[in-house]
Every structure is written in C-alpha cells, then in structure tokens.
Structure 1
Amino acid sequence: MEIEVNSRNMKFLECFSSHTRVKMIELLSIQPMNIKSMSEALDIKSPIVTRHIHMLEDAGIVRCESIAGKRGMQKICHLQLTQAMLLFKGTPAADESNRYFVSLPVGHYSSYQIKPTCGLASESQMIGMCDDPRYFADPDHVMAKVLWFGSGFVEYRIPNYMVSNESPESLEISMEICSETPCAVNHLPSDITFTLNGEEIGTWTYPGDFGSTRGLYTPEWWHKNIQHGLIKTIRVNRQGSFIDGIQVSNVTIDQLMLSYDKEILFRISCSATAKNCGGVTLFGKGFGNYNQDIEVTLRCK
C-alpha cells in the first residue's frame, strides 16, 4: 500500500503520532487481540483502548470483528496492513480529475497458459477440479476469487478510459499475491514476473513462509494451506518501473504505448525455467488478508 504524505491522508498519518497506537500495532503484529487483552498489556483503561482502535480502524490499519465470548460479545482486533510506503513526492490533488480507477476480479483473465498444480475457487466452492488446467477455460472462471498455478501465466485486459487529448503519467496496479508452493511447502520462494503491453517491467521473488496462518477474509470452508499473500504495488511512470517503491527496471510509461482506444494487457507469470519456480496464487475479494481485487489506477495529464 502506498500513502502520499499530504493533507488528504491525515487520518492515516495521525495514527503514528501516538506511542500508544504504535504499541498497539506492535502487539497486533504478533497476534489478534481483544480490547481487554490490549488494555491489560498496555496498562490503560479499555475505553481509551477502544478510542485508539477506532482511529486505527478508520485508517484501514486495523480490522475488528465481534465474536461470542464466555461473557457475551467481544471485539477481536486484527492487523489489516502488513506494509505501507510513504510517498513524499506524489501526485498533486489537482490531477485527481484525470485519475481512472478499475477494480478487476482475479477470475476475469482474458488469456492463460498454465501447468499444475492449479485451480480456481469462488467464495463458496471450487470451480471444477484441482490440477486440471482445462477448468481455466470454464465459463465460471469469471466467478473465481482465488486462483493458483505451478508455472505459466494469466493475462488480463484492463479497460483504458483515458480520452484522446490526454497523455498517461503513471500506471499503478495493486494485488494480493503469493507463490503456489504453500499448498505443499511453505518456505520455497517464487520468481513472479509482471509484464505490461508486452514489456517485462520486473520480477519479484516471493520469499515464502506467509501461508501458514488463516487469511482474515478466507471463507470457513476453505481448508487448503494457501491462505493469504502480500500486497504488491506496481507503478510505472516517466522515471521507470517500481515494485513497492523500489525501481526494478528502466521501462517508462511512454514505452508501454498506452492509447485511449486500446486496452492495457497485464500478464502475471512464473517461468518453469526460473531459478525459483514456486508458482503463483492470486487472491481477490473474499480471500486472503486484503479484501480487494486487482486494483488499477491510471493518472493522466
């Protein structure tokens, strides 16, 4: 997640002006906790903890749910974010009128070429059979909220809503992703490559060891070891291509040849010949730790 340091994001930035709130984030990074447990750990009264939690929840840093306890309902707090990057030089507010946003479900790929292990699932059931690539062509694939494959690629056609007199300044894509390997082995890495309009913009190596705990949004019926991933944010601008703010190539927005009358092709792949061929898992709404699909923002001038 990328946060621009400006007045529009004060709700988020103010969360870190309090030692108590920072300590709460530290505690929740270890495990979910209820209000009473945090009150005892911090040695402050429960109403004060509740006020701080409301602030963290409003900023999207913490997620809370009410569950039945021994003495009525209790509020369980989970850490919603695993990382956030501050952008001190971001997009001016005046450019927001030229901002186009699309949320693309993970099952809405337009092309694929994959090898097992593989599979797809909606929020309520599996789509077809596991480890049979033919079901990636099933019409119900558009209902998928999670998909995985051992090697190969899935490609998406991103709608482009810029108008003829605009020129693109930056393209940002955010998704929850991990390797396929947690289904069998948690500690194996995976080299995942991202391509836009035929231009390979960079490769990210998923480190492993993130799929052993249950995803915050993963449905109860789901019992596979693939539980959640990490949020990855790709940004291409006039300076180059970046993954989570780290430059991965010199491919610029101009090299993508974006045109108002053409969609944007976005490919996610893991080569069978990669040094770390651990596959790919994509999580959409209703799965993983982040309740989002593939989110795309195109900024123009």
Structure 2
Amino acid sequence: MIRANLNRKWLPLYEALASEVRLRILELLSETPMNVKELAGALGLSSAIVTMHTKKLEKGGLIDTKLVRRGGGTHKICSIAVSHVELTIPHTSEPAREFHEVSVPIGHYTDFDVHPTCGLATTERVIGQFDDPRYFIEPERMHAQILWFGKGYVEYRIPNYMLAGQTLEEIEISFEIGSEAPGVSADWPSDIHVYLNEKLLGVWTSPGDSGEGRGKLTPAWWTVNQYGWLKVIRVTSGGTFIDGQRLSDVTLQDVLLQRKDWLLRLAVPDDAEHVGGLTLYGEGFGNYNQSILFRTYRSAANNG
C-alpha cells in the first residue's frame, strides 16, 4: 500500500498515474508479470515508448522490475508493486477514524482441511514433510510464515474487541496470496473463496503461482513459490470490495453476528471452476512483510 498526501515528494506517483497508457499497463500487470516486449505487443506500441512509461511507473513506486533469465536470454520483468494507493487530503473538520488492527500469523489457524500438494515452512526450514496434511497440526506450525495446499481451507479465529456503544463502520482484511501449482506455474488459475463468519464475501481468481524472479523477502534457500498478490478486502454497509473493485453485495449487516470473535476462512473448494490451490505468504516471505491483517473501523463509544 502507498499512503500519499500533498507533499511534493509524491509528485512522481501522481505523474505515473496521469496517463491512460500507464493505467493500461497497470491493468495488464495486475493479471500477470510481463516484460517490456510483451507489454508493447499487448498495447500496440513500440518497446521504446513502453520502456519510458514503465520507468515512470517504477519511479512512482507502482511497479517493480527485475532482470530474469528466460529462454537463453535476459528479460526485464515488470510486476505490480502495490495493490492500492491511498491519498490523504488535509481537512481540519474531518475526525480521524478509530480502528483496531489484529495481525494474525500465517500459522495461527484454528481449523483446516487441506489436500496435497500442501505444506508449511518457517523462514528457516520446512515443517515436517511435503504433501502430508498431518503436519498441519504440528505444534511448530505456530511459527509458519508460508503455507500452501491444492484444495481445502484454513480458518482463523480473530478476537472481536468491539465495545458496548461502538458502531462498526467497516472491516478491512489484507493478505498476500496466490495459487499453488505442483512446482510453479504463472498460468495456474485458482478460485479462492473468502468467508467471514461463515458468510461468503466473494471469490477472487488468482492468475497463477509465481516462480520467476525472487520474492523481495523470500529466504535464499526457498526455491519454489516466490510471491503472491497483496489483496485488500473491505466489507462496508454498501457491499464488499477487493482492491477498490466491487466483489459482492455482501454488507456488514450480512456478516455482523453477536459473538466474541470473527471467523475468517480462506478456501479452494473441490467444486470450484478453477481448483488451483492457494499459497499464503507471511512475514519473511513474498513481497509484503506482513501477516494477515484484520482491521475494524468503528465510531467512538457513546459515553454520554
């Protein structure tokens, strides 16, 4: 995430966004990483012009570029660096929003049903053996920073710290996620289902399981799935959104239950159209140094 304001240092970001061509490049890269030649072909432009645009996007912090060996040559691969941009414009009469954030480590799931290919790892070693679901109840799983499975689900219980008199205004959930191919495959779609309090918020189709180029944080000893996509889901009174785009018509009223915790489930059911598994990246893996973040925005309690 980029949180920008009206400071002059953000001018490269604003310039990067001020182009129809560059916005189209971001759309293409949101589907899959591409090199300049591939982008030029998709846009019908010369490689020189596309190179100029990608340099501005990189300077603005919106994309990353890496040199990758492929097919006997070296290619400059472009990929999305952030999932969304938040612009704050000063407004003295607008009160700050009150929220509470819980960071849930990848290994702190409370229920699961997973099927191979599957496994877990800390930043130092694999936990147990590959493709053996029994290790998902290994006590060391609490230290896992990456997990993957071919189909099934993992479920997390998150404490609900709402106080009497407070009104819930929005729920925000973010995590880095991708598909799970045997090995790796950039073209490996997977329909990842997100549930909250047993209510399906929506389905996001991951395009693949990334393996070309290394994740910024992924340990050097790790050789397969490298990074995913940072997805930000917001549940509001007007619907559910993913990265700012409407995901479903599910509202806060549809998931708000009188309970002491929230139940978050990430699943790839075996009856999905694309059963491509999922990989969850935590701190020390992928491109974003975070666990699952669960944030609740609420109005202040009425003490009057």
| TM-score normalized with structure 1 length | 0.74
CA distance in 1, matches of 2:106, 2:242: 19
Distance 1:14 1:298, change over 3 A: farther
What one-letter code is carried by the residue in structure 1 that aligns with 2:220? E
Deviation at 1:211, TM superposition (A): 2.9
Do the aligned residues in 1 keep the contact of 2:282 with 2:289 (CA within 8 Å)?
yes
Displaced runs of 4 or more, over 3 A:
9-15, 59-63, 85-89
- Kept in 2: contact 1:118–1:150 (CA 8 A): yes
Identity among equivalent pairs (%) = 40
Q: Give the CA deviation at 1:11.
A: 7.4
Indicate conservation of the 8 Å contact 2:119/2:129, yes or no: yes
The answer for the alignment partner of 2:159 in structure 1 is 159
Look up the equivalent residue of 1:140 and give its one-letter code.
E
Cα deviation, 1:218-275, whole Å, max 9, x if unaligned, reads 0011122x1111111111000011111111211111221244x511100000011211
Residue 141 of structure 1 deviates from its aligned partner by 0.7
Distance 1:117 1:294 in 2: 22
Corresponding residue of 1:233: 232
Gap change, CA 1:174 and 1:12, over 3 Å in 2:
farther
SS at match of 2:95: helix
The residue identity in structure 2 corresponding to 1:246 is Q
Moved more, 194-203 or 101-110: 101-110
- 1:133 to 2:133 alignment: yes
What is the alpha-carbon root mean square deviation over aligned residues? 3.6
- Which ranges in structure 1 are unaligned for 5 or more consecutive residues? 32-40, 43-51, 64-77
Take 1:182 and 1:103, find their aligned partners in 2: how far apart are those partners? 29
Q: Report if aligned partners of 1:181, 1:188 keep a CA contact under 8 Å in 2.
A: yes
Of 282, 291, 294, 2:292 maps to 294
Matched, 1:14 2:11: yes
Aligned to 2:267: 269
Following TM superposition, by how much is the alpha carbon of 1:160 offset from its aligned partner in structure 2, in angstroms? 1.7
Q: In 2, are the aligned partners of 1:235 and 1:242 still within 8 Å (CA)?
A: yes
Distance 1:153 1:131, change over 3 A: same
The separation in 1 between residues aligned to 2:209 and 2:144, in whole angstroms, is 24
Matches within 5 A, 1:59-98: 81-86=81-86, 94-96=95-97, 98=98
Distance 1:144 1:60, change over 3 A: farther
Give the distance between the partners of 1:168 and 1:251, measured in 2 at CA. Answer: 15
Instruction: Work out whether residues 182 and 212 of structure 1, in 8 Å CA contact, stay in contact via their aligned partners in 2.
Output: no
* Residue identity matched to 1:292: Q
Distance in 2 separating the partners of 1:269 and 1:163: 30
Q: Please, which runs of 5 or more residues in structure 2 have no aligned partner?
A: 27-33, 37-50, 65-77, 300-304
Q: 2-side partners of 1:86 and 1:124: how far apart?
A: 34
Structure 1 pair 235/116, CA: closer, same or farther in 2 (3 Å)?
same
Note closer, same or farther for the CA distance 1:202–1:88 as it changes in structure 2 (3 Å cut): farther
Q: Structure 2 counterpart of 1:245, which letter?
A: G
Q: Normalization by structure 2: what TM-score?
A: 0.73
Q: How many residues align?
A: 258
Single out whichever of 288-297 and 276-285 deviates more from structure 2. 288-297
- Please show how residues 1-301 of structure 1 align to structure 2 within 5 Å: 1=1, 3=3, 7=5, 10=7, 13-17=10-14, 81-86=81-86, 94-96=95-97, 98-181=98-181, 183-208=183-208, 210-224=210-224, 226-259=225-258, 262-301=260-299
